[in-house]
Amino acid sequence: MITGTLVEVRLHGGYWSAPAGSDPRVLAPSGGGAAPTRTCPPGRSCGASSARFTAAGPGTVRVTARRTSCGEAMRCPPGQDRFEVTVVVTP
């Protein structure tokens, strides 16, 4: 992507941490947060965790989020407790 591009990461389910970038000089935070849903069946994870970023300068960053629970009192299976994406910003 090029400098100035807006990026939004939205993870569905209420147990994710807010997505965070590894270098704000490359991908600057510009908003986001948790958004609960109005209705949620018992035992389900509802809502979303999101973050918005602006590509601020050239480089490569990782955007990550974690969760320890995948449902009401349910531990996450292996490989489902972490979100990670690599973003490359060009001038």
Residue 75 pLDDT: 85
Domain around 25: 6-89
Residue 28, in any domain of the structure: yes
Q: Of 41, 3, 4, give the one whose Cα is nearest residue 14.
A: 41
**86: three-class secondary structure by DSSP:** strand
Position 52 in a domain: yes
Q: Does residue 1 belong to any structural domain of this protein?
A: no
pLDDT value of residue 41: 64
Residue 53 in any domain: the answer is: yes
Q: State residue 38's pLDDT score.
A: 59
β partners of residue 66: 82
| pLDDT string in tens for the chain (91-residue length) | 999 999 999 998 778 899 999 999 999 999 876 655 556 666 566 778 899 999 999 999 999 999 888 877 788 888 889 999 999 999 8
In a domain, 51, yes or no: yes
Residue 20 inside a domain? The answer is yes
Q: How far apart are CA 4 and CA 44, in angstroms?
A: 37
pTM of model > 0.75? yes
Q: How many distinct structural domains can be found in the chain? A: 1
